[in-house]
């Protein structure tokens, strides 16, 4: 249980509460310093740094290939896209070409992991504000995805599946059919989930009009991914800064529209992720249709990497634009590596958007931003 410390300011009116760093609704080891007048917050100040693991410094000690398992820890809820960002940056730096089948397998696993990540985000958001049943329902679907990813790479959370030059393994026998059967099962589940929680009157009343972020504010804060698109900004790295085989698949980019309240409110941020479930299933289906025509090779083993120069890669992770910048100086390890993630910038808006909210609403604001602690402290 988190320790809650009460202290009165000099005025005798304002009260300071520590929420975290160990608290189930902060979605990781994060601390919020909350200043309140009774139940009304004056502000909630994020205090980060409790999960710093020197991941970027470790990249300077490992070989390029040996660093891949560490990228799983940049975002352990959606590790595939973190794998992808590192591999793509090093491939640009070293001038490597990935076999087409390897690109398809990357995108299939990325999108399955995106669905899995959103199940945690949306199920936990419902549970944080009092609806426990939806979390159990949707966690069941995440377990199915974990089973599928375990079949292809042997792991259920930190995958180490992508490789510099492709992916570690091809599709096991029957894996494609199992994935497609699960897609057939999952699409009706999304409709069921909408009936259960997305369009639930009580759920909407808790989230609509809360902490609305306008399009201009979203850009100013540097929001990315679903948080940016929920505010009506039409930008998706997969479409607008295309990489891998995304130009070969068709998908829509869901945008917030203020359907239940103000544009960019907590409900919009929730709803955009629900719609992204549907789009990810579409992408997975198209990839399986197209992969059959590709050659069998899924990995091009690179020669000993000693690149010089710098390169940056951007991928659309579950929490938005994840950028990886790598500098090489001719050694077998990077001279410098840097990750830019969505959660860190999302934390920056909590202080302003918490003002005037009830203390009980802070957990809904945090959950609507889908903040994950490892992305903040690297």
Q: Are 375 and 342 in contact (CB under 8 A)?
A: yes
Give pLDDT, residue 23: 67
Q: At 15, phi and psi to the nearest 5? A: -120, 140
Task: Give pLDDT tens digits for 217-273.
Answer: 999 999 999 999 999 999 999 999 999 999 999 999 999 999 998 999 999 999 999
Range 192-214 average pLDDT: 92
Alpha-carbon distance of 337 to 313, in angstroms, equals 12
CATH C-level class of 55-342+363-376 = mainly alpha
Neighbouring residues of 61: CB distance < 8 A, sequence distance ≥ 6: 333
For residue 335, pLDDT over 80 is answered with yes
Alpha-carbon distance of 229 to 255, in angstroms, equals 5
Mean pLDDT rounded to a whole number for the chain: 91
pLDDT band at 285 (very low <50, low <70, confident <90, very high): very high
pLDDT band at 373 (very low <50, low <70, confident <90, very high): confident
Q: How far is CA 232 from each of CA 15, 100, 213, 262, 365, rounded to the nearest angstrom?
A: 36, 34, 10, 11, 18
For residue 125, pLDDT over 80 is answered with yes
Alpha-carbon distance of 190 to 19, in angstroms, equals 33
Q: Which residue has the higher pLDDT, 94 or 377?
A: 94
Distance of CA 83 to the CA centre of its chain: 13
Alpha-carbon distance of 246 to 108, in angstroms, equals 11
Alpha-carbon distance of 128 to 360, in angstroms, equals 10
Q: How many CA atoms lie within 13 A of 120 on its CB side?
A: 21
Q: How far is CA 21 from each of CA 30, 72, 370, rounded to the nearest angstrom?
A: 5, 23, 17
Neighbouring residues of 52: CB distance < 8 A, sequence distance ≥ 6: 377, 378
Tokens representing 166? 């492709």
pLDDT band at 375 (very low <50, low <70, confident <90, very high): confident
Alpha-carbon distance of 97 to 300, in angstroms, equals 7
Helices (H), the chain: 55-58, 68-71, 79-94, 100-128, 133-153, 175-193, 201-207, 215-221, 225-229, 237-240, 266-291, 342-347, 350-353, 362-368, 373-376
Q: Other C-beta atoms within 10 Å of 81: how many?
A: 24
Task: Give pLDDT tens digits for 7-47.
Answer: 444 455 788 888 877 766 667 788 889 999 888 999 999 88
């Amino acid at each position: 249980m988190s320790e809650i410390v009460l202290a009165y300011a000099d005025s005798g009116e304002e009260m300071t509460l520590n929420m975290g760093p160990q608290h189930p609704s902060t979605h990781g080891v994060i601390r919020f310093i909350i200043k309140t007048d009774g139940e009304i917050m004056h502000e909630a100040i994020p205090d980060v740094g409790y999960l710093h693991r020197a991941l970027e410094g470790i990249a300077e000690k490992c070989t390029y290939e040996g660093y891949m398992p560490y990228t799983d820890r940049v975002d352990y809820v959606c590790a595939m896209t973190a794998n992808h960002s590192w591999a793509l940056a090093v491939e640009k730096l070293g001038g490597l070409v990935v076999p087409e089948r390897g690109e398809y397998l990357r995108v299939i696993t990325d999108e399955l992991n995106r669905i899995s990540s959103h199940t945690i985000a949306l199920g936990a958001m419902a549970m944080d504000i009092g609806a426990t049943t939806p979390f159990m329902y949707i966690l069941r679907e995440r377990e199915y995805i974990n089973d599928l990813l375990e079949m292809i790479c042997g792991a259920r959370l930190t995958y180490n599946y992508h490789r510099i030059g492709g992916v570690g393994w091809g599709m096991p026998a029957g894996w494609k059919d199992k994935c497609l059967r699960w897609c057939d099962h999952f699409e009706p589940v999304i409709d069921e989930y909408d009936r259960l929680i997305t369009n639930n009157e009580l759920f909407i009343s808790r989230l609509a009009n809360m902490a609305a972020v306008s399009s201009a504010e979203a850009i100013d804060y540097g929001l990315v991914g679903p948080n940016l698109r929920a505010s009506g900004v039409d930008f998706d790295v997969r479409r607008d800064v295309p990489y891998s085989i995304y130009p070969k698949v068709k998908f829509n980019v869901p945008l917030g529209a203020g359907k239940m309240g103000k544009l960019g409110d907590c409900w919009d941020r929730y709803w955009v992720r629900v719609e992204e479930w549907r789009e990810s299933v579409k992408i997975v289906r198209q990839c399986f249709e197209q992969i059959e025509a590709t050659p069998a090779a899924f990995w091009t083993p690179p020669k000993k990497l000693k690149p010089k120069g710098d390169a940056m890669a951007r991928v659309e992770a579950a929490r938005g634009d994840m950028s990886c910048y790598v500098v090489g100086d001719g050694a077998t390890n990077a001279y410098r590596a840097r990750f830019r993630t969505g959660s860190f910038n999302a934390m920056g808006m909590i202080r302003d958007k918490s003002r005037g909210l009830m203390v009980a609403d802070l957990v809904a604001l945090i959950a609507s931003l889908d903040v994950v602690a490892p992305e903040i402290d690297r």
